Structures are given as C-alpha cells and as structure tokens.
Structure 1
Amino acid sequence: MTKTVLITGGAKRIGKAIAIDFAKKKWNIAIHYNESKDEAEKLAKEINDKGLNAFSFQADLSIGEESKKLIYDVVNKIGNINCLINNASIFERDEVNNISIESWDSHINSNLRSPVLLTKYFEKQLPQALNGNIINIVDQRVWNLTPHFVSYTLSKTGLWNFTQISALALAPRIRVNAIGPGPILPSSRQTLEEFKKQSMSTPLEKASTVEEICKAIQFIISVEGMTGQMIALDGGAHLSWKYEDFKE
C-alpha cells in the first residue's frame, strides 16, 4: 500500500524539498499551503508529471478549525495519512520590550496551536492497524535561547515540549520526533552576505542544507526505536556562545 505524507507549508523552501524527497520514495504527497497557491499547484504538477501522486490543499492554520478540515480534506482525497510533517510556521522579530498581542497570537496560533490540533486529528484518522510518524520542524534556538524573536522562540519551545509530551501520549503506535534547523536558507529579510556571515559563525562554519533535512526525516522514519527526540541540524549553533543570531 502506498503511504501518504502531509507536509504543512509544503509549497516552498524546506517544505518543498521535503515534498520532492518523499515523492522520489513513491509516497503520496499532500502539499499544504496558505497563500502560496501557485507554488503549491506547480509543485504538485511537477510531481504528477513524473507519474507520481501529489495534491495541494489550502488552509489558514492560524484559524483553529482549519487544522481539522485540512486533515479530513486530505483523508477524503487521498486516504489515511501515515506521516505528518509540521513544517509551516511564521518567523517575525519581536523583543521583550516591544512584544504585542498580535505578534504573540499569530506565532502561538500558527507555530504551536496548529501542530497540536493537527496531531490530535492525525491520531484520530489513523486506523488502529497502522503505525504513524509525526515530525515537527522546530528550531535550534530552543536549545540556545537568545533575547530576540521572543514570540517565535516561545512558540517553537512549546512545540519541542509538545513533541515529547505527544511522544509519550501516542506511543507505541505513533512516534513523534523533531528537527531543529539552524541557518538553512537565507531569510527574505537577509542579504546573501548576511546569511553567509551567520552560517560562518556556527562551530562548523557552514549552513546545513535542505538535503540534510530530508535525510534526517528519512532516518527518523526508518529508526523504529526513536521517539521524543530532536535532531539539531544547525552546524553546531545550539552549542556555541559565539553564534551570531539572525538580525534584521
């Protein structure tokens, strides 16, 4: 039986690379997007043109009920979901002295509440006879706290804690793990030179790659004794007091 993966934020950047990698391994691909309709449909077409199976699904995951709708839209279109990749997130800067209710709510709703709800409905749709995997894309900064990006960091720290909680709650049928990326791709607010400087400040003096993210995901899926863990793919940034955090 062909397995199905749902990738939130699957139309661009890391999510797109994950979708392409799963497609190469003959999985059915559910590509979630919010506003990136053109990119999601183009990616699905590229995968389908290779004789594989991909569909795009729209949902605004900052709205509570959209998480439930997304899961059941995928199940109704493709079938039961075997693997959930909680990749979609927002990343905006705020500090303790300028944090706003709007920033707090948007980060918590999109980066924490939505993965929690998606996990809930993923478990409900998975038949008792099947095992499943959930992989949460968090951030190396959950192990390397800074005073910057307060709402974002708290949302990702919460997701890392929820990874461990849900690993306990859903075992043995569903394994839950996380990946903590560091610098992978330049932010839209970074120049290439700024990204290179940030990457060079890691102990390994380089950025990780989307290919490494994909390899880590496949490793997690293949190792059946692994749950409640996080793999930091960050060039060692989480270890380094000298690491230069992202700046505007």
Structure 2
Amino acid sequence: MFKKALVTGSAVGIGKAIALDLASKGFDVAFHYNRSAEAAKKASQEAAKWGVKSVALQADITQPEAAQLLVENAAKELGGLSVVVNNVGNYLEKAIGQTSIKEWHEMLDSNLNATFYVTQTAIPYLKEAGWGRIVNFAFASAQHSIADDEQSAYRIAKTGIIVYTKSLAKELAKHNITANVVSPGVAENSVGLEETIPLLPTQRPATLEELSNAVGFFINPQSDYITGQVLEVAGGWRL
C-alpha cells in the first residue's frame, strides 16, 4: 500500500487532526497552509515523531496555478501521492439577497473551486500509484440540500462538491481510486457552540478525532468497494 497523503488546510483544526491521524498510521504527509506557517511547521514536526516524512507547504489554493504547484510539490517531496483530503472551505452565513459578488466568489473559490483545482492535478499521481483515495468535505444535510435563509452560497458550493465527488467516483473506479465525502455538523472547534449545542440531538459537538476517524474509514483498504458516498458526522443534526 502506497502511503503518501496531502491534506489541505491542515495547519490547525480538523485538517491537522486528519493529517496527524494519517501520520500515526504510517503515511508520509504534506501539511498545507495558506497563512498559518508556524502552526503548519509545528504540526509537521509533530507528525515526524511517528517516523514518517512530513512537510509543510504554502499555497493559496483558490488560485489554480498555486493549487497545481502545491500538488506537484507535495508529490515531489513525498515521492508521489495516493491520498488527497480536501478540507479547505470558508463559511458564510448571510441571506442570498445580501451576498456580494465578492462573497459569492469566495464561497465558490474556497470550497468548490479549490477542491477541483487540487483534485484534478492530483489524479494523475493517484493513477500512477495504482491505488488512491479522495476524500472531500461538505456539511451536514448538503446531500439533501434545500433553500436556506442564511447559508445559500455556502450550501451551493458544498452541494457542488458532492456532485463533483460522485462524478469522480464513477470515472475513477476502474483505476482503483475511490472518491467520497465527509459531511460534518458542529465540531468542537466550531464558532457559536453555546447557541448550537441545544439544537443537537447528542447535546454535544463532534470531536476532531471523530471527524478524522470518518476520513480514516474511507481511506482504509477495507473500504475499497465504497465510493461516491456521503458520510455525515453530525450527531443526528438536521435529519
């Protein structure tokens, strides 16, 4: 099994938890960051304690050229790629009628477009590895998304990620590459927890470990026959 992974947005939070979990399982890991250079460096150093190779790479992946270079550098530093986790994506809570053109593009660029740029560049490396995993991030209920008074631009971007991932799953299955989606609800590092927790059936947010475990499920070789699926890690929220 070829263990080389790139996790976007992995200097802190969910992305960091995922990257460290992969390192603990013997994966060489590329930690991606945009502005959090020191945090990414520390995370990479933490991963190295498992005896794997780890690097911290900077890129603004909302820019196609930068995203392409990130993937190329990750593959060069690690000696190839077999796993890509697209964790980056900004959030906006605003009525669609009040959403500016700049905010609209930011939602699409940081969520859908960044996922597309990174993945499209990574696919040839995954094919070369002969085994691959793509895990993208949406959000709870995105697969059955309906109109929302305050999150329309964000929902549109995340729903697009799901459609894109399912398309990849069909196209890449013959290459032994799976593509799946993890859809988090409220996590322990989410903002506004005091207001949201009472709305959760579990009465608590997801831990970062629970989210990284969901990603790990899709990456595990025992999940070879699972592709094009959406796994919600939301404690029953928005059912």
Normalising by structure 2, we get a TM-score of 0.92
Q: How many residues get paired?
A: 234
Among 175, 181, 199, the alignment partner of 2:184 is 181
User: RMSD between aligned alpha carbons?
Assistant: 1.6
In the alignment, the residues of structure 2 paired with residue 49 and residue 216 of structure 1 have an alpha-carbon distance, to the nearest angstrom, of: 23
Where do 1:65-76 residues align within 5 Å?
65-76=65-76
CA offsets 1:23-77 (integer angstroms, 9 cap, x no match): 1111101001001111000111122245332100100011121111111011111
Would the alpha carbon gap of residues 215 and 170 (structure 1) be closer, same or farther in structure 2, given more than 3 Å must change?
same
Q: Residue 166 of structure 1 aligns with which residue?
A: 168
Would the alpha carbon gap of residues 61 and 2 (structure 1) be closer, same or farther in structure 2, given more than 3 Å must change?
same
How much identity, in percent, do the aligned residues show? 30
In the alignment, the residues of structure 2 paired with residue 56 and residue 38 of structure 1 have an alpha-carbon distance, to the nearest angstrom, of: 9
Would the alpha carbon gap of residues 52 and 236 (structure 1) be closer, same or farther in structure 2, given more than 3 Å must change?
same
Q: Residue 151 of structure 1 aligns with which residue?
A: 153
In the alignment, the residues of structure 2 paired with residue 144 and residue 63 of structure 1 have an alpha-carbon distance, to the nearest angstrom, of: 27
Among 190, 198, 201, the alignment partner of 1:200 is 198
Shift of 1:203: 2.4
Q: Structure 1 segments of 4 or more deviating over 4 A?
A: none
Asked if the contact 2:2/2:82 (under 8 Å) is kept, the reply is: no
More helix by share: 2
Q: Residue 86 of structure 1 aligns with which residue?
A: 86
Unaligned runs of 5+ in 2: none
The letter for the 1-side match of 2:150 is H
Structure 1 residues 223-232 or 46-55, which shifts more?
46-55
Unaligned runs of 5+ in 1: 240-248
Normalising by structure 1, we get a TM-score of 0.89
SS of the residue aligned with 1:134? strand
In the alignment, the residues of structure 1 paired with residue 229 and residue 2 of structure 2 have an alpha-carbon distance, to the nearest angstrom, of: 26
In the alignment, the residues of structure 1 paired with residue 114 and residue 47 of structure 2 have an alpha-carbon distance, to the nearest angstrom, of: 27
CA offsets 1:222-246 (integer angstroms, 9 cap, x no match): 211100001000011130xxxxxxx
In the alignment, the residues of structure 2 paired with residue 67 and residue 47 of structure 1 have an alpha-carbon distance, to the nearest angstrom, of: 23
